Amino acid sequence: MTPQPDADLSGEPLAGESIAVVGAGFGGLSAASYLAGAGADVTLFERNEHPGGYAGRIERDGFRIDTGPSWYLMPEVFDRFFEHFGRSTDDYYDLVELDPLYEVIWKDGDRASMPADREGQKALFESYESGAGGVLDEYLADAAEAYELGMDRFVYPSRSRLRDMVDADVLRSGRALPKLRGMDDYVGDYFDSEKLRQIAEYKLVFLGGSPYNTPAIYTLMSHVDMNLGVYHPVGGIASVVDAMADLARELGVAIRTSEPVTAIEPSVPAATPTFTVETASEEPTDRFDRVVANAPPPHVERDLLPAGTVDRESYWESRTYAPSAYLSYIGVEGDVDLDHHTLVFPTDWRPHFDDIFDEPAWPDDPAYYVHVPSKTDPEAAPDGHEAVFLLVPLAAGLDDDPETRERFRELVFDDLAEHAGVDFRDRIVFEETACVSDFRQRFNAPRGTALALSHTLEQTGPLRPAHRAPGVDGLYYVGAYTNPGIGMPMCLLSGEHVSEAVVEDATGSGVLPSVVPTSTLR
């Protein structure tokens, strides 16, 4: 059931403004809804057939497989987004809470399933290290404090500029300073067991980092899964994208798919921000008061703006990019004996992280992730079949010619057969892959990153690129490259923050009006 489209807008600070949003990823969809809710006339351009950006989908032969994000974490952020518009996630999609949260398979033959309940988690930790069950309570309390500090004082409030950090809330957060040291070093204060440290640290890959280059404030991610839980939306992440697109349309957003933007041209002189937006379609050129870009900023500045408008090539070249990935999307006949989420780790994963960040190379002994959504979701595969998603983090910028990809595919499938006891190569119904060059070509991603900028200390919070594009009044950035960062929940919040910036620039006050539905659910 979805809400009727009519709504009573409690104040329209952007009434009369026309705004283009370029890119319908989570950040673009979020921004489009907030801006429309504030009264703007919003047009959302998306180059692909469906909204979602990296969160795409494969629908083929009865299979439905997400091509990007597959972990639904931090449900309260999604709830908060829909509640701003007087809606609920329940109006659009159903969630299943996973138990176990995931299974870890180590290549020494060891396996461990992470229970959803605390007592089960403590028993698991205790089985690896005497006293670790009790220490887990301390660690997760610390992770919960990091989460509350991070979300309440740094993430929910928009702090995308250094001057935003100088207020009483931030100054009272001095106890977070010890968490600016390295993650692996910090977690080592709690657990000696390398395997327990891996369990505590694997989520950093979701942020595009490693335990050795990411600050310990991101211990908050342990709170995210072990305290808040891991969920699966029925129909996959694509169902969340569909929900956000439906909401945007209900708010009046015009979504134009299969229409890549080819140029963004500011008016000259720019006394009042006005932009011409050109697309690859035969539609007439559009003019807008403002533009919000959910495309990678380096691509916008290099390829979409007129030459010389913004020159930050050296800045983008000096950034630390999050990993790329080797991805395989597979339809399998018969059963696949793996959990909904499975992580396969070498007992020493440091060499793989070195291959990603220090000396880029294809890993010989990779850590990787296998997702089998059909274990939970009947919509993911036809009867008697399984849908499989396999992801191996790789260094951005690697050459991935067909021969190299095929050799690596065989290495990973051999590894899965040897260490997880699963080999379905003779039962594959279909298989599609994506790798570094695909991210570069399909999403204009610098170096083919599969995420954006990594969350190193120098690229955290206000040290990430700003929402306001430098030197171009009326142009804004939203999504994983900006604050607060990588991940679906963070991109939802980025859409809120950029909309606050637009409202502040238009009116002097960055307060977004709530949207109150006037009709009952249909």
Question: The domain spanning residue 266 has which CATH number?
Answer: 3.50.50.60
State residue 7's pLDDT score. Answer: 40
Domain finish residue from 383, 409, 443:
443
Please report whether residue 1 resides in a domain: no
**Domain limits at 433?**
319-443
Report d(CA 137, CA 383) in Å as an integer: 42
State residue 179's pLDDT score. Answer: 59
Same domain, 434 and 323: yes
Same domain, 404 and 353: yes
State residue 161's pLDDT score. Answer: 44
Same domain, 167 and 72: no
Please report whether residue 105 resides in a domain: no
Report d(CA 72, CA 78) in Å as an integer: 10
Same domain, 345 and 439: yes
Same domain, 329 and 438: yes
Domain finish residue from 159, 194, 228:
228
Same domain, 191 and 273: no
The one-letter amino acid at 118: R
State residue 154's pLDDT score. Answer: 57
Please report whether residue 333 resides in a domain: yes
Same domain, 170 and 217: yes
Same domain, 324 and 438: yes
Same domain, 188 and 267: no
- Are 183 and 201 in contact by the 8 Å Cβ rule? The answer is yes
State residue 326's pLDDT score. Answer: 97
The CATH code of the domain that includes 365 is 3.30.519
Please report whether residue 451 resides in a domain: no
Same domain, 413 and 502: no
pLDDT per residue, tens digit, the chain (522 aa), is: 333 333 444 579 999 999 999 999 999 999 999 999 999 999 999 999 999 999 999 999 999 999 999 999 999 999 999 999 999 999 999 999 999 999 999 999 999 999 999 999 999 999 999 999 999 999 999 999 888 876 665 555 554 444 444 344 433 444 454 556 778 889 999 999 999 999 999 988 877 888 888 888 888 889 999 999 999 999 999 999 999 999 999 999 999 999 999 999 998 765 566 899 999 887 777 889 999 999 999 999 999 999 989 989 999 999 999 999 999 999 999 999 999 999 999 999 999 999 999 999 999 999 999 999 999 999 999 999 999 999 999 999 999 999 999 999 999 999 999 999 999 999 999 999 999 999 999 999 999 999 999 888 788 777 889 999 998 999 999 999 998 889 999 999 999 999 999 999 999 876 888 776 644 332
- Are 326 and 435 in contact by the 8 Å Cβ rule? The answer is yes
Please report whether residue 450 resides in a domain: no
Phi, psi of 374 (to 5 degrees): -65, -10
Domain finish residue from 206, 228, 250:
228
Please report whether residue 410 resides in a domain: yes
Beta-ladder partners of 393 = 325
Distance between alpha carbon 405 and the CA centroid of its chain, in Å?
25
Please report whether residue 111 resides in a domain: no
For tokens 């969340």, what's the residue? 240
Report d(CA 218, CA 203) in Å as an integer: 9
State residue 4's pLDDT score. Answer: 35
State residue 513's pLDDT score. Answer: 83
Q: Could you give the C-alpha distances from 286 to 21, 172, 264, 279, 306, in angstroms and in order?
A: 12, 47, 10, 9, 16
Please report whether residue 89 resides in a domain: yes
Determine the 3-state secondary structure of 232 from DSSP. strand
Tell me, yes or no, if the pTM score tops 0.85.
yes
Same domain, 255 and 340: no
Domain count, the chain: 3
> C-alpha angle with apex 364: 363 to 369, nearest 5 degrees?
65
Same domain, 426 and 352: yes
Residue 1: both structure tokens together: 């059931």
Report d(CA 114, CA 152) in Å as an integer: 28
